[in-house]
Chains A and B, each alone.
Chain A
Amino acid sequence: MKRVQFEHSAIPYLFVAPQIIIIVVFFLWPAAQAIYQSFLLEDAFGLSSQFVWFRNYEDTILSESWLQAAGFTVLFSALVTFLSLALALLLAVKANEVIRGASTYKTTLMWAYAIAPPVAGLMGNLMFNPLIGDLYKFLNAIGWDFNHKLDSFDAGFVVVLISVWKQVSVNFIFFLSGLQGIPKSVLEASLMDCKSSLRRFWTITFPLLAPTTFFLMVINITYAFFETFGIIDTTTRGAPGGATTTLVFKVFQDGFRGADIGGSSAQSVVLMIMVLALTVVQFRFIERKVHY
């Protein structure tokens, strides 16, 4: 009997080519460039360059300002991820239970989804303006000696608040659809077994939401690391005293403002490694606990 051999055609490769080209041109090539540049000391205009091994890494990531930014980034990302997930989950569970006017609640909560981070930042900046900002005046009126221009805690509060506000609606949409995907029969069965709604939530609903939560966690950490750049740039710009400078913002400051290409490339490479490591950890260790 003759073995059936499929003819290999070039057509499938043609179909995936656009995606592959996009990945190569916009992701792999720039990443390779960043790695290459991170070993060079080169003037901004590219007229002279020298290979310096790890000099750029030593100069930048061992500096106090980088370490300060790294510390803030970790704290900031943890806070933004946790708070925006927790708040969105609470809102989704409550909105899911509402019967009268449910769509009004849902639509209102989803609204902020379309707002870009820099726009959210500009709005926040106005609300926290020391001369005309309502939130600034309100916080001072209730007895909080609030001054985000000088106090690093207050500045952190501003950027976390805006970043969380912007992200809650995204998470809300996912949690709500996740909740609606839980079979009614399971929920009804649990209702027979347990009276406490809180206990039912933690033992039945929450584990069933785990795939959604895991997905959102990955998305939110990426958001907190990278996309909040627009919020930082339009509000505190890393002030006061570098207290709200994230790693991405520092890459921007050194590379795009300061024209230090080698130094900011080295920082990008380190950031790339950090995110890669974080993703590995998430998929290796946390995803194991997720049941699909």
Chain B
Amino acid sequence: MKLKPLLAALALSTGILAPMQASAATEIQWWHAMGGRLGEVVNEIAEKYNGSQSDVVVVPTYKGGYEDTMTAGIAAFRAKEQPHIIQIFDAGAATIINAKGATVPVADLMTDFSIEDYIAGVRYFYADSAGKMIGLPFNSSTPLLYFNKDAFKEAGIDAPPKTWEEFEAIAPKLKEAGYIALAQSHSPWIFSENFHSRHNLQMATGNNGYDSTDVELLYNNDHMKMHWGKVKQWLDDGHYGFYGRAWGDNQDAFVQKKVAMWLGSSGSFGGLTKSAEFEFGTTFLPYWESITKEPTGTFIGGAALFAMAGHEDDEYKAIADFFGYMTSSENQVFWHKETGYVPITEAAYEDAKAEGYYESTPDAEIGILQLSLPGGEWTKGYRLGYYVQIREVMYKHFDDIFSGSASVDDAFAAMEKESNALLVRFNDTYK
């Protein structure tokens, strides 16, 4: 692509827009993807940190969505104008971690760093195969089931479903009460990646991609196909609502009481409390009892902060200091309460508990509880190259399943073939 002029433009704009520093404070550029209310909270964090000391000034800049931010960071890096800190999302983790020399690992940067301080579900997602943390988990979320309590009352249902078998039992009752039972907002994340984690199933060879880039995707398995066959069945029976792949359109269907249950992110909690005009509750992501009697936890979604390579030593000291502030209990609890994202350290979780936050808002704890469920061999996450495109491939074939233009078997066979071709390309590029 025609990146060079873009780079030049970017370099120019960042150069011109960067405020002049009169004092000797080290300036740290932080590019992030947090828009709207989340962006305001990010700015508040930076202000609080800047006010707390005088050596470092953190300048947060909103760069658009996750993909836009990653692209901007890549373009800037190629023009040698990279920011100090960049927020990279889960699906882009392989791209930045496998590019040797693009980042400085968090574990090397921070003094007295211990991975044991972090809560179980977030420890290894952004770590290398040896368990060394590369990116600092920032906005960490996990898929949860939200349910409309009023709708459940109308349909005469006491409790939200724990399993998909229970879901199938209550869906007709909700239909009678005038609701579509379920919608969800991210089929690769919720119905594929975390589906595997919840049932402790392997999703890719090479230790889910952590050990190597020479791997194959294992989505074309009987459990996945069973699940998607069921989802298609629910769609045809009027128990599942599909409002396109946009996150918000499916969430809106829940807010507007078209659907009684919605699978979204633990990070959606804050927004829903403002937009939903009914009482709702949250619970764990359901599992299939036919697959496992002992469901395991989920892993985090969201994004992490990476320190980019190519800066001065004193700047890295400043970054380390800022990361220290980011992981402090005080800041983690603030972030958790303002946004609904989970705290990433055990200490912050204990503090929020001690404050009595979960007694007043028990639903805010569900995400952490789910992440703290017993882990298994395959609950640590994944590290797959070109995963952004693989998600596109998945969306494409999920559409085909829903529209009936391909059978579940054919769709998954095609998905496997196209995804593995992308993984081969990635391996050849990054080996």
A63 touches B421 (CB 8 A): yes
**Closest chain B residue, CB of each to CB of A29:** B4
A241 touches B258 (CB 8 A): no
* Chain B residues numbered 236-251 whose CB sits less than 8 Å from any CB in chain A: 242-245, 249
B418 touches A239 (CB 8 A): no
Question: 8 interchain pairs (CB within 8 A)?
Answer: A45-B77, A150-B403, A241-B396, A257-B71, A259-B70, A259-B71, A260-B389, A262-B429
**Closest chain A residue, CB of each to CB of B397:** A241
Q: Mark A218-241, 1 if CB is under 8 A from B, else 0.
A: 000000000000000000011111
A47 touches B99 (CB 8 A): yes
A41 touches B1 (CB 8 A): no
Contact of A167 with B by CB under 8 A: no
Q: What is the CB-to-nearest-CB distance from A6 to chain B, in angstroms, rounded to a whole number?
A: 38
Cβ-neighbour of A59 out of B98, B102, B244, B425 (below 8 A) = B425
Q: How far is the CA of A251 from the CA of B5 in the complex (A)?
A: 17
* Chain A residues numbered 31-51 whose CB sits less than 8 Å from any CB in chain B: 31, 33-34, 37, 41-48
**Closest chain B residue, CB of each to CB of A25:** B5
Contact of A149 with B by CB under 8 A: yes
Q: What is the CB-to-nearest-CB distance from A45 to chain B, in angstroms, rounded to a whole number?
A: 4
Contact of A211 with B by CB under 8 A: no
Contact of B400 with A by CB under 8 A: yes
Q: Which residues of A contact B95 (CB under 8 A)?
A: 43-44, 259
**Closest chain B residue, CB of each to CB of A242:** B396
Question: Interface on chain B toward A: helix, strand, loop, or mixed SS?
Answer: helix
**Closest chain A residue, CB of each to CB of B79:** A46
9 closest A-B pairs by beta carbon, nearest first, are A30-B2, A240-B399, A255-B1, A241-B399, A149-B244, A258-B389, A45-B99, A45-B102, A150-B403
* Chain A residues numbered 15-30 whose CB sits less than 8 Å from any CB in chain B: 25-26, 29-30
B5 touches A37 (CB 8 A): no
Q: What is the CB-to-nearest-CB distance from B107 to chain A, in angstroms, rounded to a whole number?
A: 20
Q: What is the CB-to-nearest-CB distance from B364 to chain A, in angstroms, rounded to a whole number?
A: 28
Q: Which residues of B contact A152 (CB under 8 A)?
A: 403, 405
Cβ-neighbour of A44 out of B99, B414, B428 (below 8 A) = B99
Q: A64-B418, A241-B405 are in contact. Are A257 and B244 (CB under 8 A)?
A: no
Contact of B28 with A by CB under 8 A: no
B1 touches A251 (CB 8 A): yes
Q: What is the CB-to-nearest-CB distance from A57 to chain B, in angstroms, rounded to a whole number?
A: 13
Q: What is the CB-to-nearest-CB distance from A158 to chain B, in angstroms, rounded to a whole number?
A: 11
B399 touches A44 (CB 8 A): no
Q: Mark B361-405, 1 if CB is under 8 A from A, else 0.
A: 000000000000000000000000010110011011101101101
Among B1, B249, B389, B405, the one with the most A-chain Cβ atoms within 10 Å of its Cβ is B1
Q: A130-B249, A258-B389 are in contact. Are A34 and B429 (CB under 8 A)?
A: no
B386 touches A42 (CB 8 A): no
Q: How far is the CA of A261 from the CA of B386 in the complex (A)?
A: 11
Q: What is the CB-to-nearest-CB distance from A48 to chain B, in angstroms, rounded to a whole number?
A: 8
Q: How far is the CA of A259 from the CA of B5 in the complex (A)?
A: 17
A241 touches B389 (CB 8 A): no
